[in-house]
């Protein structure tokens, strides 16, 4: 059975137990001190991704049938790791951020460094270099692989325990809709669902915040929202300072798990600080389709604009054509918004008439009603 080996301890344990490294994937390890342990074993049909090795070990593993993908040239000065073995954390993306120094996120945070790198290549005249394009594709593949590993805990055969919350970045902290989404996410997390969002500010932050505080007493969410609402503009340094204060008051060690799937395509929006696992991509199309595809337990749509409407109809196509062999509920939070402000609802009713997914769309006013609809309309495989 193929497995990903991401530490030297795990590598040595596997060799000790099996006497070989056949059909394994070894990711981003410095193996220069392990030459003697590797040169006497078979690496047939194994893959070494971005590992550092001495020349003799490279020759031996290649001759034994291993595929070797070398580290990319250090001269490229990449601000990201193409062969990374796991998803991002808040600490990693905010590395370099100093809450005491205004503007430090834009200047120094890892998240911002990667965004500047990506933007410079998108805006440059002429095509991006092959090596830089390859590095970004390798990175996104590594993120997808790590995300697949995370989802195994929530998507066993017949299980659907990933629910997504979609909505706009313009939603302000402290407004009623923000609180509703946070309460909804908290309710989902307490029932064993993995809450997934787009990972940005606004409705997305509210979703991750609710899941983050799910293990805490109910009043923790009230206190956190009151604190966060002191700054509602995500462009401001104080906005990030307040999020950090919430994390310090209710540390991540005792927090609930949730998923964020943002992109550097919209990298001007900071990744929110409340997701435990962050699958951040360069390719926006992979991110958008993937977020909807994994949410087989259902998707809740908070008020949003063009991006949210696009996501609605991507989800409609997945249900309409049963793309992933399951029909999942779609819940629209705020009947006023979706029937009058942006009247998507009448079109959905017309499209779903006589279709299997017709009974799996619903309007809801408030977290309790939205949660009730989602739980009362479990995903199903059409006959």
pLDDT of residue 126: 85
| Cβ 195 vs Cβ 207: under 8 Å | yes
| Cβ 4 vs Cβ 85: under 8 Å | yes
Quote the pTM value.
0.94
Rounded Cα distance between 169 and 148, Å, is 26
Residues 6+ apart with CB under 8 A from 343: none
Name the residue among 199, 169, 167, 164 with its Cα closest to residue 303: 167
pLDDT of residue 289: 80
Name residue, tokens 């971005």. Answer: 50
User: What 3-state DSSP class applies to 298?
Assistant: strand
| Cβ 70 vs Cβ 50: under 8 Å | yes
Encoded tokens for 80? 């990201």
Per-residue pLDDT for the chain (383 aa), expressed as one digit of tens each?
678 899 999 999 999 999 999 999 999 999 999 999 999 999 999 999 999 999 999 999 999 999 999 998 777 889 999 999 999 999 999 999 999 999 999 999 999 999 999 999 989 888 889 999 999 999 999 999 999 999 998 988 888 999 999 998 999 999 999 999 999 999 999 999 999 999 999 999 999 999 999 999 999 999 999 999 999 999 999 999 999 999 999 999 999 999 999 999 987 889 999 999 999 999 988 777 888 999 999 999 999 999 899 999 999 999 999 999 999 999 999 999 999 999 999 999 999 999 999 999 999 999 999 999 999 999 999 97
77: left (phi over 0), alpha (psi -120 to 50) or beta: left
DSSP character string of 182-235: HHHHHHHHHTT-EEEE--SSTHHHHHHHHHHTTTS-HHHHHHHHHHHTT---TT
> Over the Cα atoms of the chain, what is R_g?
23
Indicate the helix (H) or strand (E) that contains 301: strand 298-301
| Cβ 316 vs Cβ 332: under 8 Å | no
Q: Where are the domains of the chain?
A: 4-69, 74-144, 157-376
pLDDT of residue 8: 95
Rounded Cα distance between 259 and 270, Å, is 15
Rounded Cα distance between 295 and 186, Å, is 16
For residue 76, how many other CB atoms are within 10 A of its CB? 12
Half-sphere exposure of 360 (CA within 13 A, CB side): 25
DSSP summary character for residue 52: B
- Architecture (CATH level 2) of domain 157-376: 3-Layer(aba) Sandwich (3.40)
Rounded Cα distance between 23 and 341, Å, is 55
């Amino acid at each position: 059975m193929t497995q990903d080996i991401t530490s030297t301890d795990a590598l040595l344990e596997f060799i000790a137990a099996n006497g070989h490294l056949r059909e394994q994937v070894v990711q981003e390890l410095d193996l220069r001190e392990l030459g003697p342990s590797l040169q006497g074993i078979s690496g047939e049909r194994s893959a070494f991704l971005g590992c550092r090795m001495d020349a003799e070990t490279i020759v031996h593993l290649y001759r034994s049938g291993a595929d070797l993908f070398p580290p990319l040239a250090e001269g490229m000065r990449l601000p990201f790791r193409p062969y990374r073995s796991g998803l991002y954390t808040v600490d990693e993306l905010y590395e370099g951020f100093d809450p005491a120094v205004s503007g430090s996120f834009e200047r120094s945070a890892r998240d911002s460094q990667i965004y500047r790198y990506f933007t410079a290549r998108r805006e440059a005249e002429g095509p991006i270099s092959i090596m830089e394009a390859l590095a970004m594709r390798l990175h996104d593949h590594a993120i997808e692989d790590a995300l697949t590993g995370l989802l195994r805990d929530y998507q066993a055969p017949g299980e659907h325990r990933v629910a997504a919350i979609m909505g706009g970045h313009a939603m302000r902290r402290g407004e009623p809709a923000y609180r509703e989404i946070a309460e909804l996410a908290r309710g989902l997390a307490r029932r064993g669902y993995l809450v997934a969002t787009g990972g940005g500010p606004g409705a997305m932050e509210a979703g991750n915040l609710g899941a983050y505080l799910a293990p805490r007493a109910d009043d923790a969410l009230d206190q956190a929202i009151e604190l966060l609402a002191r700054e509602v503009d995500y462009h401001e340094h104080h906005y990030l300072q307040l999020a950090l204060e919430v994390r310090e008051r209710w540390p991540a060690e005792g927090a609930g798990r949730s998923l964020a799937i943002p992109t550097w395509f919209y990298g001007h929006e900071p990744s929110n600080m409340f997701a435990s696992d962050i699958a951040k991509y360069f390719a926006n199309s992979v991110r958008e389709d993937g977020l909807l595809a994994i949410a087989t337990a259902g998707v809740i749509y908070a008020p949003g604009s063009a991006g949210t409407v696009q996501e609605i109809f991507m989800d409609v196509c997945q249900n309409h054509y049963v793309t992933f062999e399951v029909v999942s509920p779609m819940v629209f939070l705020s009947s006023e918004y979706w029937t009058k402000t942006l009247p998507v609802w009448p079109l959905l009713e017309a499209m779903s008439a006589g279709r299997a997914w017709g009974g799996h769309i619903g309007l809801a006013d408030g977290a309790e009603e939205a949660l009730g609809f989602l739980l009362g309309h479990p995903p199903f495989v059409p006959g």
